[in-house]
Structures are given as C-alpha cells and as structure tokens.
Amino acid sequence: MADASQTPFKQPTWFLILFALAVGGGSIAYVPLLTVLLPLEITEMFGTEDVPALASVTFFGAIVASLANIAFGWLSDRFFGRVPWILGGLLASSALLVAIGEAGDFTTLVVLVMAWQLALNMMLGPLVAWAGDCFPDSQKGTLGGALSLAPAMGAVAGSLVTFENVAPPEYRLTVVAALVIILVLPVLIVGRGRVQPQLMKSVANEAHDVVPHERSTVIRMWFARFLVQISEAGLFAFLLFWLRSLSPGFHENTSANIFSIVLIASVPLSLWLGRWSDRVRRPILPLTSTALVSAVGLAIMAASSGIEIAILGYVIFGIAGTIFLSLHTGQTLRVLPQPRTRGRDMGLFNLTNTVPSLVMPGMTIVLVPTFGFTALFAVFAACAVIAAVLLATIPTRE
C-alpha cells in the first residue's frame, strides 16, 4: 500500500478561491490598461486612433514581458521561493501602473510600459508556478477552470473604470492598482505552507492521464497555445478599433461591456469542463474542442459585414478561447517534467502569451490596411484549426 504521506492532497476550496482571485488581480493589472485605457491615452496623445503607435507600445512591452517572465520564474525556482518575488512585483507594478497615466509624451509612455511589464511579470511568473507547487494533478482541470475567473475579473474592471461616474479619467489607473493589491495580498498572507513537497519531486507518476515526460507532448501543448493566442492577442489590442471600423462612434464602454459579458459567461463553462476533465481523466479533449469552436467564431467574424453578426462571432470566439486558455494553463502544469525548474518552464510557456504580441502588430499592419480585418480573422481561424489538430495527436493513457 502506498504511503499516504507520499500522495499529494487536494487543496481546500478556500485556497483555490483565494488563488483564483489573486490571478484575477494579476489580470486586472493589465486587461483594463491594454484593452481600453492605453488605446484611449494614445488617442488623446495623437488626436486620432493611431494603430501603429499602439502596435509599437505593444511590441516593446511584449519583449520585456517575455524575458522578465522567464527570468523571474527561474529566480523563484532558485532563490527565496515564490512569495517574495510575487510581493515585490505586486508593489512595483502597481506604482508603475499609476505612473503610466502621468506620461506626457510617447517616448515616456513606452519606457513606463516596458518598466511596468518587467515588474508585472515579477509577480505573474512566480504566481503561476506556485500553482504547480501546491495543486496536485487531480485538481489541475478544476484549477484551470477557476483560472477562467481571472480574465473575467480583468474585463469587469475595464468596464468599471470606464464609467465616468465611478472613476474619473485621471484616477482610473489608481483605482486599478488598488484593486490589484486588494486581490493579490490575501493569498500571500494566508498561503504560506501550502506547497506540497511531493509535487516538488521529479517522480514518474503512473496516474498521469497524459504521458508526461515526452518532449513531443510539451511541444504540441506549446504550439497549440501559441496559435490560439495569436488571435487572442489581435482581438485583445484591436477589438475597439475593429468594432469602430464596422460602426463608427462605437463607445469604448460598450466594447468593454461586451468583453466583460463574454468572459463572465465563460467562467461556469470552464469550471464545469475542468471538473469534468478531472473526473473522467480526459484532460486534453476540452482543449481540442474549444480550439475548434474558436475557429468557428473567427470564421463568422471574418465573413461579417454588420455589427450584430460580428459581435455574435466574437462572443463565440471569446467564450471558447477563454475556456481554452484557462484549462490549458492547468494542463501545462500537468505535463511539465521537472518541478525544480517549474518557474522557468512556465516562463517559456508564457512566450505563447507574449510572442503573439510581437507577431500580431506586424501581421496587422501588413494585412489590415490592404485587405481589412477580414483577412486577419481568416488567418486567425486557420491557426485555431491547426492548434486543434496538434492537441488531438497528443498521446494519452487509456
């Protein structure tokens, strides 16, 4: 009989909730800024909706985020554990977020966004790796489902701060920073001692439902997320501009509200699918299915010429894409082979979030002025189909 002390225990629901709220705080740190507030600041700075300027800020910020997430993940593997890095990143990124609102010129804005990305990933990199230190494989699907709360919280915060009666423009980023601190601090205070030594050992686990240590599995998981994230990055940065190309004068608060509704609707579906995948031990099937549904939504968006059908396509894509990305994070922690380098490896997987932000601006600048958003969304749909094929070929245990 196996020694019970060698079997990772399931974390209590209260810790899962606090962890999900902390990751939600991380989402609030960047979603309102990058989807609504930064485009508005650039519009105010240049007097027009300047797509190349927004693409430049996104490009340089993504470079810093890519390197910082790997670096701080590795540092949290080697020195001091996860919590000190998370706390330092929380405080520094919150201060820099407020400073971005005070930028007086474009160069200062770019520098502040790069510094903020550095500090933000000091928090986010170790935070995600900490989940792998604490939650066993039997909770990975449920964990992924709970993480779907994060983008929904970010979107709700974006809607909240764009209501003029709630947060005047000059205080929007200060409100965002305060929300982040309120949500992240509790899990840091009460979460000490939740790391499970059994999850820090490189021991082959016969209970794995995905063959864990095969390089091809990790590669497929990486590229599948990368391909889906290309479309997520495109809509993340240019959703407001696209909607206004179909309906001039489309209000930024309406855009933020649609974004919020989509992400809120995805939360119960993600939780249900995550728990289902844990129960039936089919961790990859929900990923394959949601990648295909994402492609359908993108195809509708590519074919649409009116605002109503366009929004319908976005709703389909947004819900499926959010479920995919949330569940994918949990299952990535399942397949990584070396717990002692979990922070670094999750940083390498984070490139699937940031590299698309490097690819997407150039793709947008090449395609949109000549062919419009239709061609861009058609390319995104093809990427989602390829992602589904990659996931369907991952070897699993019967």
In a domain? residue 55: yes
Averaging pLDDT over each range in 17-26, 94-103, 166-175, 358-367, which range is the top one? 17-26
- Confidence check: pLDDT of 204 > 60: no
Kindly write down the DSSP assignment for every residue of 69-112, as one continuous string.
HHHHHHHHHHSS-SHHHHHHHHHHHHHHHHHHTT--SHHHHHHH
Burial 346-383 (b: 16+ CB within 10 A, else e): bbbbbbbbbbbbbbbbebbeebbeeeebeebbbbbbeb
Q: What percent of the chain has pLDDT over 90?
A: 25
In a domain? residue 6: no
Residues 6+ apart with CB under 8 A from 230: 356, 359, 360, 363, 380, 383
How far is the C-alpha of 188 from the C-alpha of 20, rounded, in Å? 12
Q: What is the mean pLDDT of the segment spanning 78-99?
A: 91
Q: What is the pLDDT of residue 206?
A: 41
- Confidence check: pLDDT of 9 > 80: no
Averaging pLDDT over each range in 148-157, 213-222, 246-255, 267-276, which range is the top one? 267-276
- Confidence check: pLDDT of 205 > 50: no
Q: Residue 51 maps to which CATH number?
A: 1.20.1250.20
Residues 6+ apart with CB under 8 A from 24: 149, 150, 152, 153, 154, 183
Beta bridge partners of residue 396, listed in sequence order:
210
**Strand residue runs (E) in the chain:** none
How far is the C-alpha of 381 from the C-alpha of 378, rounded, in Å? 5
**Structure-block tokens of residue 247:** 């309906």
Identify the three-state secondary structure at position 168: coil
**Worst-scoring range by mean pLDDT, 5-14, 338-347, 356-365?**
356-365
Higher local confidence (pLDDT), 296 or 32? 296
Q: What is the pLDDT of residues 29-48, one digit of tens each?
A: 888 888 777 877 777 776 66
Structural domain tally of the chain? Answer: 1
- Confidence check: pLDDT of 211 > 50: no
Q: What is the pLDDT of residue 2?
A: 42
- Confidence check: pLDDT of 226 > 90: yes
Q: What is the pLDDT of residues 237-285, one digit of tens each?
A: 677 677 776 766 666 667 767 777 887 888 899 999 988 988 888 888 8
**Structure-block tokens of residue 60:** 């340089």
Higher local confidence (pLDDT), 389 or 1? 389
* pLDDT level of residue 4 (50, 70, 90 thresholds): very low
* pLDDT level of residue 88 (50, 70, 90 thresholds): very high
In a domain? residue 397: no
In a domain? residue 3: no
Q: Please count the CA atoms within 13 angstroms of the CA of 282 that sit on its side-chain side.
A: 9
| Whether the Cβ atoms of residue 152 and residue 21 lie closer than 8 Å to each other | no
- Confidence check: pLDDT of 53 > 80: no
The position carrying tokens 């819900």 is 319
Q: What is the pLDDT of residue 207?
A: 42
Q: What is the pLDDT of residue 44?
A: 72
* pLDDT level of residue 370 (50, 70, 90 thresholds): low
**Worst-scoring range by mean pLDDT, 261-265, 326-330, 355-359, 382-386?**
355-359
Q: What is the pLDDT of residue 368?
A: 67
* pLDDT level of residue 92 (50, 70, 90 thresholds): very high
Helix 13-32 vs helix 172-190: crossing angle, to nearest 10: 160
Note the pTM of the prediction, 2 decimals. Answer: 0.79
Q: What is the pLDDT of residue 163?
A: 74
In a domain? residue 318: yes
Q: Give the gyration radius of the chain's Cα atoms.
A: 20
What's the mean pLDDT when you consider all of the chain? 81
- Confidence check: pLDDT of 183 > 90: yes
**Strand residue runs (E) in 219-264:** none
Q: What is the pLDDT of residue 94?
A: 93
In a domain? residue 4: no
Q: What is the pLDDT of residue 398?
A: 38
Q: What is the mean pLDDT of the segment spanning 326-342?
A: 83
At residue 249, what is the residue type?
A: G
| Whether the Cβ atoms of residue 156 and residue 264 lie closer than 8 Å to each other | yes
* pLDDT level of residue 382 (50, 70, 90 thresholds): very high
Residues 6+ apart with CB under 8 A from 288: 388, 391, 392
**Worst-scoring range by mean pLDDT, 8-17, 236-245, 294-303?**
236-245
Identify the three-state secondary structure at position 247: coil
Please give the residue range of the domain that contains residue 281. Answer: 11-392
Q: What is the pLDDT of residue 168?
A: 72
* pLDDT level of residue 23 (50, 70, 90 thresholds): very high
Q: Would you call 169 exposed, middle or buried from its count of C-beta atoms within 10 A (0-12, 13-18, 19+)?
A: middle
